[in-house]
Structure 1
């Protein structure tokens, strides 16, 4: 009697590796970054690598986006600009979020706001929008969920940001207006995400958000 063995098709292996390798790379990025900021004596050196980490995260995240249509490019551009300009308004007027200023950790600034902040807004709207789309809720409720996830992450980012010179608040206290403003801007952008006509299929997106959340919760615990 001959024995047969069942093998995994080569395309399936390649498909798995295409996803697993970038995910593993992201885990390494954030694990090394956490060790460097929380446990290493060379903390300042790791702080200077923050822009690189953010750029690499976004490069991997958006490499998994499918369907680079005009609608998607417009969405990405408008979310970037809206996030960036809302921070410009916040820094110069104290409106939206409260009175704060950016440090040097996040790199090159335009109008006293790091350009990477616009990219960070895009990344967060995109990843939390994908997570909310995993539910079967009405689209408005999905937008509320996405905005809530963004505020949840910001709750842990804020004290870490002050510790590592991302930005600082006047008087050293995080105002309630920051979270209200964050939710308002995030909700508006989440509504846009839900109604924008482009493919919303990125299996890496939920993991990017989860890694960000674990990273900042971990740093928050070490403050």
Structure 2
């Protein structure tokens, strides 16, 4: 193999490993910062910034950008924000809930970073399940279940740190059914659109989020 190619490969490996490590460290720091009442307001303020940094690093390591991937990125963001706007105002999709101030700038009552969060979760779970030895429909179902399972641990954290609030602070079954429906639509687009399903950072970002919400949900 050409020595220059080997050198570039090693450099790329070091780069994505650094990015993955950075994401793990920032999420662990977030756990500590949110767990302590003294530092909590600062880390709540930084939550949207963390999501923005996470998606930037994720996109930097996506391989082979094409029109299909750009469409998926835009579609997931717009659908995520749009369905949340419908959900907040109609109370039909997920139940009765309102967003707090932690997640930052809102449009029609919904923080724009929610669209980023829908993309991150959909993309990461899709990447993880793309390596499974099943057909596209089964892969999309596995990824959908992973998203809903993570939401189960997100909910108590979201309520405690003013991400969003449910009526009587009780998460309805409708929320998880709504997640199943919306997530599966997104995952069907993921598996059938012709773009690269490889990203070395995606697995680590999803692991970081699982650890983040699993630990915080056990202590809030």
With normalisation by structure 2, the TM-score equals 0.95
Q: Does 1:54 align with 2:34?
A: no
Contact 2:24 2:205 in 1 (8 A): no
Q: Does 1:202 align with 2:206?
A: no
Q: Could you tell me which of 201, 204, 222 is aligned with 2:219?
A: 222
Shift of residue 21 of structure 1? 0.8
- Structure with higher helix content: 2
**Max Rg structure:** 1
Q: Does 1:185 align with 2:186?
A: no
The equivalent residue for 1:138 is 135
The equivalent residue for 1:66 is 63
The equivalent residue for 2:113 is 116
> What is the aligned residue count?
215
1:67 aligned counterpart, secondary structure: coil
The equivalent residue for 1:82 is 79
Shift of residue 206 of structure 1? 1.2
Give the gaps of 5 or more residues in structure 1: 1-8
Give the gaps of 5 or more residues in structure 2: 1-5
Shift of residue 12 of structure 1? 4.8
User: C-alpha deviations, 1:41-94, integer Å up to 9, x for none?
Assistant: 221111000011110111111110011211111111111111111100100000
The equivalent residue for 2:96 is 99
RMSD across aligned C-alpha pairs, in angstroms? 1.1
Shift of residue 17 of structure 1? 1.0
User: C-alpha deviations, 1:106-152, integer Å up to 9, x for none?
Assistant: 00000100000011101111000011112111110101000000001
Q: Take 1:217 and 1:103, find their aligned partners in 2: how far apart are those partners?
A: 21
The equivalent residue for 1:41 is 38
